[in-house]
Amino acid sequence: MIFTCKKVENCFAEARTYEYELPITGEELCRFLTGWEVRENHRFRRPVFSAKKEKLEIKGILKAHIIKINYTAENWTNEKEEMERWLNHVVAVEM
């Protein structure tokens, strides 16, 4: 893997949230989110983005290298494996 990943705890019992540290920024990642509903918010001191596709959601700071992904409770392990394969591809192309 070209990135690091760790589970993030939160208050929702069924939440499957993972934090990824990527060698690319959130801004660079957004260029690959074709078919996703991407929203950017530049009103914060550190502008953020969120991207949704079906039940999957990615959030992060545009200029940072850390993103968080919320996986669905159903079939989340397959969803996570597919997402990590895609992230490896994106990072390889961008580097």
On whether the CB atoms of residues 53 and 37 are closer than 8 A, the answer is yes
Q: Whose structure tokens read 């074709």?
A: 34
pTM of the model: 0.89
Residue 84 has pLDDT above 90, yes or no: yes
Do residues 48 and 93 make contact, with C-beta atoms less than 8 angstroms apart? no
Res. 82 pLDDT band, cuts 50 70 90: very high
pLDDT of residue 72: 81
- pLDDT tens across 13-43, in order? 667 899 999 999 999 999 999 999 999 999 9
Round the CA-based radius of gyration of the chain to a whole number and report it: 13
Half-sphere exposure for 47 (CA within 13 Å, toward CB): 10
- Would you say residue 12 has pLDDT above 90? no
